[in-house]
Amino acid sequence: MNGRASRSGWIACALAVVACPRLWATAIRAMARFLPGGGSPGRGSLSGAVTYSRWRMQTAYGDSAAKPVVGDFLEYLDWLRELRVITSPGMR
């Protein structure tokens, strides 16, 4: 797949998140990890985000240029949201 097809997949994922208010905060926190100083080493930059997304597509779909599946992306955000609730200090 080319970059345009991959971009259209990410745009579809973003639109799906816009339509799902319960995931807004989780999506913002996930995006913030890719801002400079916002996350793990190597993931704190736009190039780190591109590298991570390519790696993620490779591990999930067997092709680093794969188009992300909206349902899978929303499930990932739901997982992050649940993980945050389970690991929050008040839940221990």
pLDDT band at 82 (very low <50, low <70, confident <90, very high): very high
Instruction: State residue 92's pLDDT score.
Output: 45
d(CA 1, CA 58): 12
Report how far residue 53's alpha carbon sits from residue 67's, in angstroms, rounded to the nearest whole number: 10
More confident residue, 44 or 84: 84
Retrieve residue 61's tokens: 């779909």
pLDDT at 41 over 90: no
Q: What's the whole-number mean pLDDT along residues 68-90?
A: 87
Please tell me the pTM assigned to this model: 0.72
Q: Identify the pLDDT of residue 28.
A: 92
Q: Measuring CA to CA, how many Å separate 84 from each of 2, 72, 79, 87, 91?
A: 34, 18, 9, 5, 10
